[in-house]
Structures are given as structure tokens and as C-alpha cells.
Structure 1
Amino acid sequence: MFLHGTSSINEQGHLTIGGCDVTNLAQEFGTPLYIVDEALVRQRAGEYVKAFQASGLKFQVAYASKAFSVMAMCVIAEQEGLSLDVVSDGELYTALQAGFPAERIHFHGNNKTPDEINMALDANIGCFVVDNFVELDLLNALAAAQGKKVNILLRITPGVEAHTHDYISTGQQDSKFGFDLGNGAAKQAIAKALTLSNLEVLGVHSHIGSQIFEVEGFRMAVDKVAGFAVDIRSELGLTFKVINLGGGFGIRYVEGDTPLPISEYVGAITNAIITNFKAADFPLPEIWVEPGRSMVGDAGTTLYTVGTNKNIPGVRKYIAVDGGMTDNPRPALYQSRYEALLANRANDPAEETVSVAGKCCESGDMLIWDLELPKAESGDLLAVFCTGAYNYAMASNYNRIRRPAVVFVKDGSADLAVKRESLHNIVENDVIPARLAKSALAK
């Protein structure tokens, strides 16, 4: 079994993360439980910063908070010298409540509401990533109403399709995101933005997909963006100060996944930038990237308690856990795969092949198919690895199941970062209309 970060197996045969025995974490915090390896998160942040420092280029590494947005993570991002990208008022509010510097916040999204834009303007965030023509006019008008001039990047789709799942491939021409480079919309957007007096165009943003294991797509994106930058300077007189190349850097979920070291992704991007822009006699721009999954994905582990099982002779054996698609919808959405072990019996040999089912009332609520495990009994603890990205962030209350707690572990200490939802939390926003209450009383 491949163990990530600070994970290890102790003398009792228990999984430990951050120096904490997960069986003790289960007793203290309950299950399901998201466990975050803080040291690994900080290591990944440091790897990005060091790789860019080695390039000699100006840069910003912006943590993509959509992967995992909680106040504790925002604090770590700030401490590690990162910027932050947000895509909603909720993510923005989380960052501001955590004390994250507003000038290092970038606001994304293809349908920002007026309320969200005004909230970001009130906070004086550092940059808006503008996605469409409607937003250009709306942002300019709202900024004018506040007497402000705001920095923007224009999101462009460069026509590069990354080798990834169709649902998370975003750089191709047919995408809901951004201004298309191929049909001239991107150039029209730049020209229009230059006429709007409350917008300051810093440059462009490009994102080609997610869970990418090679660098060629990034090189191709740089080639296209650099060519566009040269055309814009020649035709419109604007020199891009910033090029944002998004994220999408892959991680290892299961055997066969082959992510590159962070330094190789960054090296490919920065070398391509330097080569292209020097060849065009163009000032080297500041480079921004937005890692999310690669910052937190393999630092997360979800701990479950095994409950029931069902054996269908000659077909399959199911074991059920006390969570499922409510805390990890990715297998249902993307057919995502995971590795796991029995955390309280980590050294026991595998005896059978099982499939791990969640507890939701859905046939599709399956976390892992065909997992080799020791014979699992009720009360055993199952640890599912690499659940740090898009698990808590996508969690729901389907079947009115409560969302799990989140703990950060480091150097033998476990600290609560998100409380487990209570039954009261499930109903606290419910309201029984007066006419229904009166009808119930009449009966």
C-alpha cells in the first residue's frame, strides 16, 4: 500500500497520520472523519514557491480554494505566502473571516452576481478574472458606482484539450468558461475592456483541465497565449503584465497514476514562457498559477467505520461504511478511483475482494469497487486515501446525513478545523409556513 506524506503504520498495526494514531482520532472525533496532513500541505506549498523562485520570474502561487475551503486552510495558505482564488461569495467570506489579505485574492467564476461583485469590491480584492462580455460591463458599472478602478484578467480558452475526464477539461473551444481564442472573442474582449475606464487589464488567464500527468498541454497553452500577447501588443498597444496558467496538476490516487514532480510542471511552464517571450522581444510577464488538488489532495484521508456486509455468492461481497456519496461524490460523478486499508488492522494480510458501499439510499453510492482487504468486521476502521480535494468541498446533506468533522494533524497533535454537523444543524434553516402550522394544529 502506498502511503502519502507523514502516514505510517505503528507497532500496533494502526495507521498513523501526522504522528496521530487514527484509531484514537476515531474515538475522539467520531467517523466519518476528514483527516488533513498539515505537514504535507505545507510541503506542497513550499515546492511550488521554490520551483518558481528558481525560475527567476515574478510569480504568484494562488491556492484554488474550491478544492477545499475552510478557514484553517486559508490561514495556512497565507502563512505559506500563497495567494488565493475564490469562485463565490461563500469562499470569499471564508477567506476574509480567516483574515486572508484581500489584495492577494483573485475572484473567478462564469456567473458572478452583482452582490458577489460588490462584496469583492468592498473588500478591495486584488483581481477579478473576467469570464464573459456581460461581466465586463457589469463589473465596470459596479466599480464606477464605488469610484474604483479594478485589476482584471480575461479568461481565454486556448483550444488545448488536456488528457482528462470530459467534465473537468476546460481549455477546449466548446466550454462554458472564458473568451475563445480561435473565433476572435478573446481579442474583442480585450479591445472592449480597454474602453472601460474602471477596469485595468493586467493580462489573461488560461486553464486547460485537471488531473494532468504531462507537460505538453501546458507548453502548447503557453505557445498560444504568448502568440496572442504579441498580437494584442501589436494591434491594440497593450502589453500583458500577467499570464495566469491556471492549475490542473495531477496527483496519485491509485497505482498507475503518474504525476510529475511539481518542479517539472513549473519548470516546463516557466521555460516555455521565457523562450516564447524572449523570442518575441516581449517583457517577461509575471506568472500566476492556481494549484488546488495538488496542494491538498493527497494530504487528505477519510476515516470510516465498517458496518454491515452483503455477500452474493459468485458475484460480489459488499461492505458498507458510515459515509459515502455525501462526503465523497467523486466516484459517482467522475468514476474516480481510490485506495484504502483497514486502519486498525493495517498489517493483516488481504483475504478477500470486497466493494465498499456508502449508506445513502442510492444504488450508485459506491466508494470503491474490488478492493483487496483482510476480512472486514463491523467496527473496523476503513481509511480512504487522497480525499483532500473536492470531497469536503462537494459534501452534501443528501438523505439528511450530517457532514463530517475535519481535523488537521501535525507532530502528534490533532486539532479540530470543522465541527461535525449536529442534527440541529440539519433543520436549523427549515421554516414551517404559518398556514401549514395552523393546519397541523387544527388536526
Structure 2
Amino acid sequence: MTVNPLAPSWLDVPADANALAEAVWPRGAARTTDGELELAGVRAHELAARFGTPLYVVDEADARARAQEAHDAFTREFERRGGTATVYYAGKAFLSAEIARWVDAAGLHLDVCTGGELAVALAAGISPSRLGFHGNNKSLAEIDRAVSVGLGVIVIDSVQEIERVAEAAFRHGRTQRVRLRVNSGVHAQTHDYLATAREDQKFGIPLADVPGVVASIRAHSALDFLGLHSHIGSQIFETDGFAEAARRLLEVHRELLADGPVPELNLGGGFGIAYTSVDAPVPLSDIAASLADIVADECERLGIPLPAIAVEPGRAIIGPSGVTLYEVGTIKDVEVAQGGGTAIRKYVSVDGGMSDNVRSSLYGADYTVRIAGRVSDADAALVRVAGKHCESGDIVVHADYLPGDVSPGDLLAVPATGAYCWSLASNYNYVGRPPVVAVRDGEVRVIVRGETEADLLARDAGI
């Protein structure tokens, strides 16, 4: 088949436009004998008929397994080098009471960054001692609540927060454990909006200022300084950035040891996942092994003890476990000028869009799409999956190939939507946020209720 000239250079024409790339889909995803997509033993049409579309579907066994694998990999690899590791699940990726319980059951700690996320974690029954609190602008009320419940660690992000946390700790008669977020100057190879360790950004303390800021923390008897924290970006496919950040942090870590203990080092998260068949993220087990060797070797070179290590994966645990189902509404073949001629881009519009997945519009993120309700031997056609919202940039999938007979009423499935889709969802155009269901062993249950028009109207004080 001739390649459509509108296709991006990385996108090949598939040999089978029905095939499910293993790296992109949850482990419980498969085609039934009659060609329908099945998720953890539940057919796509059954899910759509019962809960409607759009619908977020999470493969529970897959998510739990990835959480356990992260815990085991980092524990094993740092023990191999004579150290310890704590894995925090980054709740910002997707947090609900059930998700919190899944990661807790796997032995993970939990990272929150707002009062709302803290409230969910506490309501889920997670021990406050297993929580970390991030954020560049924590309110006084958020800090007070975190300290009052005995939160495990607060990540200080600015000089002003030192006094605020210390005052809350003194008021509640507690000694609050804290880390200091630093800006290492390391920039992971990622989208500019996702980069969070460059000098010109809102997070953290410049590396050169760390000794003075740590001295201020140590001056407060109500604060217990644990160590430094770094986060170099998101959707990272290599370990070079983590290695360089670790080296820079450990140089300062050694300097801080002269004036007191520095028991921990938090290297953050940002580990990437596959959104398309050409994405090749490093497995978490390999990342854990590499980081263990990098940190241990650097500590040996510097002549310092190996600190306890913490990491914060979120997307890498929940992202691949999620799939979003949509129903096709309208289809348009749009003739586009291209290279002195024209080419056809097939616009396939669905009943969701940027209100349930804003990443494509916000970051230019790429996704994969497949027909969920059937298979087809029709020739593959380049498609752009568009949403229903009143924005030309309302795109769900910028480019992929589907069987050319894709039709109104077809169910479509977009994989790798477990992270930053529900958590970034909105009510744009007064669309209710979809429900989230968990599937496991042929069973399905709601873990987040969807919003109805009545829910939306109930918040309007004029009604």
C-alpha cells in the first residue's frame, strides 16, 4: 500500500490495522475469536453498553502488577548494591481511592501535591506516614493539615516554605521530616512543557543555593532534614539524565554531610511509556539496575555512604493499564494540499475529546487507536481522531492507520490513557467527565463515577 504523504515520518503503514502492539496495550488486552477487543476478559461492547462512552477502562491486574514490579525492581537492585529504595507512586498521574489502595498493597508509598490529593489518600485509608507532599505553592492550610495528620515527608520547594512548615510543626508539637527540592540544571530530552529541572522554571532551589537553604532548615528544631529531591522531566526514555542529575546531587550531598546527616536522596520520576508502536521506553527493571549502579559507584568515588534512595513513578505504573473507549460519530475525507498535489486525511470524530484527554492538544502527544468492536480486512487508511469540542485543536489521535471502512457507530479504543487523562479532564463545553471502571478476570466495577448533566447543573448557583 502507498504511504499517505500526510503521515508523520515515524508512522509506518501497518501490515494489519487490527493488530494490538503488545507494548502499548494493557497485558489483559486481546482480540476474541470473532475479532472484538476484550479487556481483562470483558468485551468492549459490553462495557460501552453498560457504562456509555467515552469510558476510561483500567486493567486492574495490570496496574497492580506494574506497581509490584516497580517496588520489587528498585528494592532488589539497591539491595544488590548494599542500599535501600522506597518507591512513591506519583498520584498526579491518576489518583482515586482504589488506585491508592492498589499501590499501597504493592508496598509503594504515595506522593500527593495538593490538599485534594491528600484528602483522597487519607480517605482511602493510606497511613499518613507513607505519604509525601510536593508542590511549589502549598497553602498554609495544606501545610497545616499535612503536619497535623503526621505526614511522612514534606518536600520544601522554596525558602518561604521553611518557616511555614516549621511554624506548623511547632504549633502541633511535631518534628516534621522534610526534603529539599533542587533544580539540578539537567534537562531530560522531552517536550518543553514537561521539563521541570531547568533553571528558568518554577520548581525547586538552584543547586548553588542548597547549602545555605539546608542550613536554614537545620536551624529549626521542629524540622528533620532527610535529603535532596530532584525531578528532571517526564516521559523519559533513557537514563543519562538521571545519571547526570544523581552525580550533581551527590556532590552537594557530600558537602552537606559535613554539617549533619543526610540519610536520603530522592531522584524523582518521569519514566516513559509506549504510546505508539515505535516508542521504546527502558523497562523499569533496567532503570532500577542502572540507577543502583550509578548511585553506588558515585558514592564510592566520593567516599560517602550510600543514602537511602527514593523514586516516584506514576505514568509508568498506571499509564499502560488504561484504555479509553469512544463511539464514532461522523467521518470526513478532507483533501489536503501536499507537495504540489493533494492527499486525503480521514477525520474520524468521536464522542469525547479534549475534555477527557487534553494531552494531544496540550503537548502534541501521540496515541494509537484501533477499532474495538470488530476486525476488518479493508485497506488501511490514515486517520485523525478528532473530538466533539468547539476547538480545531481538539484532537485525540493525531495520526494512525485504521481499516478504511471505519464507520459511524464503530467503537474505538485508545490505549495508554491511564495517566494524565482522567486527572486532567475538564467540563469544557459542559461535558461531564467519564466514569472510570476497573476490569479484572471478566468482572467490572466502577471506581470513579461519571458526571451527569444534573451534576453539572447542581454547581450552577443560578439554577
User: Under a length normalisation based on structure 2, what TM-score does the superposition of the two structures give?
Assistant: 0.90
Higher mean C-alpha deviation, range 264-273 or range 51-60: 51-60
Q: Residue 446 of structure 2 is aligned with which of 416, 428, 440?
A: 416
Give deviations 1:314-345, integer Å, cap 9, x for gaps. Answer: 54321110000000000111000000100001
Moved over 3 A (4+): 346-351
Residue 401 of structure 2 is aligned to residue 372 of structure 1:
yes
State the superposition RMSD in angstroms. 1.3
Equivalent residue, structure 1, for 2:191: 165
Write the distance in 1 (CA, Å) between the matches of 2:450 and 2:34.
Answer: 28
Q: Runs of 5+ in structure 1 lacking a partner?
A: 438-443
Residue 250 of structure 2 is aligned to residue 226 of structure 1:
yes
Equivalent residue, structure 2, for 1:214: 238
**Cα displacement (A) at 1:310:** 2.1
Equivalent residue, structure 2, for 1:8: 30
Equivalent residue, structure 2, for 1:30: 52
Equivalent residue, structure 2, for 1:123: 149
Q: Residue 90 of structure 2 is aligned with which of 64, 67, 71?
A: 64
**Count of matched residue positions in the alignment of Structure 1 and Structure 2:** 429
Q: Residue 223 of structure 2 is aligned with which of 199, 214, 230?
A: 199
Give deviations 1:274-307, integer Å, cap 9, x for gaps. Answer: 1122333322211110000101111110000101
Write the distance in 2 (CA, Å) between the matches of 1:283 and 1:345.
Answer: 58
Residue 426 of structure 2 is aligned to residue 402 of structure 1:
no
Equivalent residue, structure 1, for 2:316: 294
Write the distance in 1 (CA, Å) between the matches of 2:376 and 2:30.
Answer: 11
Equivalent residue, structure 2, for 1:18: 40
Q: Runs of 5+ in structure 2 lacking a partner?
A: 1-19, 336-342
Residue 287 of structure 2 is aligned to residue 261 of structure 1:
no
Equivalent residue, structure 1, for 2:340: none
* Residue pairs, 1:202-351, within 5 angstroms: 202-234=226-258, 237-313=259-335, 314-351=343-380
Amino acid aligned to 1:177: F
Give deviations 1:206-233, integer Å, cap 9, x for gaps. Answer: 1111111111111111111111111112
Higher mean C-alpha deviation, range 52-61 or range 404-413: 52-61
Write the distance in 2 (CA, Å) between the matches of 1:365 and 1:53.
Answer: 42
**Cα displacement (A) at 1:180:** 0.7
**Cα displacement (A) at 1:364:** 0.7
Amino acid aligned to 2:349: A
Identity of aligned residues (%): 40
SS in 2 for 1:209: coil
Write the distance in 1 (CA, Å) between the matches of 2:172 and 2:264.
Answer: 25
Write the distance in 2 (CA, Å) between the matches of 1:246 and 1:27.
Answer: 40
Give deviations 1:186-243, integer Å, cap 9, x for gaps. Answer: 2221011111221110101011111111111111111111111111123xx1221010
SS in 1 for 2:349: strand
SS in 2 for 1:137: helix
Amino acid aligned to 1:192: S
Higher mean C-alpha deviation, range 55-64 or range 348-357: 348-357
SS in 2 for 1:49: helix
SS in 1 for 2:160: helix
Write the distance in 2 (CA, Å) between the matches of 1:290 and 1:200.
Answer: 21
Q: Residue 113 of structure 1 is aligned with which of 139, 155, 159?
A: 139
**Cα displacement (A) at 1:411:** 1.1
Give deviations 1:129-163, integer Å, cap 9, x for gaps. Answer: 00000111111112111121100000001111101
Q: Is the 8 A contact 1:229 1:239 kept in 2?
A: no
Amino acid aligned to 2:239: V
Write the distance in 1 (CA, Å) between the matches of 2:189 and 2:215.
Answer: 32
Equivalent residue, structure 2, for 1:440: none
Amino acid aligned to 1:196: H
Write the distance in 1 (CA, Å) between the matches of 2:306 and 2:322.
Answer: 36
Q: Is the 8 A contact 1:350 1:372 kept in 2?
A: no
**Cα displacement (A) at 1:348:** 4.1
Amino acid aligned to 2:87: V
User: Under a length normalisation based on structure 1, what TM-score does the superposition of the two structures give?
Assistant: 0.94
Amino acid aligned to 1:141: E
**Cα displacement (A) at 1:423:** 0.9
Q: 1:143 and 1:350, CA in 2 relative to 1: closer, same or farther beyond 3 A? A: farther
Amino acid aligned to 1:160: V
**Cα displacement (A) at 1:311:** 2.5
Q: 1:350 and 1:43, CA in 2 relative to 1: closer, same or farther beyond 3 A? A: farther
